[in-house]
Amino acid sequence: MMADERTDPALLRLAAQGVNQRQTGRLPQESLACSLGPVLDFSAGGMRVKTRRVPKGRFEVELFGLGGRITVPAEVIWTKRCGLFSRIVGVRFVNLDQGMLATLKRMSSKPKSR
């Protein structure tokens, strides 16, 4: 069994110290998906995704749901194994123009579905 972010001792220590490397707030998402797989949480700066394949280097990722669709350049920042064939990856959006950033902000501000 794997520890999640709420029970991982190393992450809990960092949180207790007030360490947070995120530049934008992240929201849980249930109605947003991408070309890599289901989106677990999302912000205008990046996302956490469950996937079977981890892209290398910079790549284009398509996001769809929440009333929008956009393709943005991205890169994988970290990976974590979550099963025999699955990974959870942290993805950062890179080289965004103003239009892309506005769309991502609009998508990240929509409430999640229940």
Instruction: Please check whether residue 24 is in contact with residue 12, taking contact to mean a CB–CB distance below 8 angstroms.
Output: no
CATH topology of domain 23-109: Thrombin, subunit H (2.40.10)
Give the model confidence (pLDDT) of 51-109 as tens digits: 999 999 999 999 987 677 889 999 999 999 998 899 999 999 999 999 988 888 887 77
Return phi, psi of residue 102, to 5°.
Answer: -65, -40
Average pLDDT over residues 29-50: 86
Residue with tokens 């972010």: 5
State residue 3's pLDDT score.
Answer: 44
Domain residue ranges of the chain, discontinuous segments joined by +: 23-109
Strands 58-65 and 32-34: antiparallel
State residue 103's pLDDT score.
Answer: 85
Which two structure tokens, joined as six digits, stand for 15? 């949180």
State residue 112's pLDDT score.
Answer: 52
State residue 29's pLDDT score.
Answer: 60
Return phi, psi of residue 14, to 5°.
Answer: -60, -40
State residue 95's pLDDT score.
Answer: 93
pTM: 0.68
At residue 9 the predicted structure's pLDDT band, cuts being 50, 70 and 90, is low
